[in-house]
Amino acid sequence: MPLESILRRAALLAALCMACGAALAAGAGGDAAAALRAKQQAIQQRLDHNAFGRPLEIESRERDNRLSGYVYAVVEFPFPTVAALKQASAWCE
């Protein structure tokens, strides 16, 4: 798979994560929003300076034959565009 396609998919995943984070923040009040802002501040240096050349951070772990991870990114799309990614059909090209 070409790197550009991987980056595009990672950015879309990040946008979805951010949309979910925003929805949680709206539903849970200020605590979730504050936690999201704190996470961004904690990884800001890595968002600004990485091998992707874009504000993208990928964290992954392997424990007990189980993989897990998070993708964080700053995306410049209007919220309605990002919110549309909740639908699986929006992921297919």
Q: What is the pLDDT of residues 54-90, one digit of tens each?
A: 898 988 888 898 888 888 888 888 878 777 777 767 6
Check: pTM over 0.85? Answer yes or no: no
In this predicted structure, what is the pLDDT of residue 49?
92
Residue type, 18: M
Residue 45, classed as helix, strand or coil, is helix
The answer to whether 8 touches 53, Cβ cutoff 8 Å, is no
Rg, Å, the chain Cα set: 14
Residue type, 44: Q
The answer to whether 14 touches 82, Cβ cutoff 8 Å, is no
> Closest Cα partner for 73 from 24, 4, 2, 8?
8
Which residues make Cβ contacts (< 8 Å) with residue 56, sequence separation at least 6? 7, 10, 11, 14, 47, 50, 71, 72, 73
State the DSSP code for 29. T
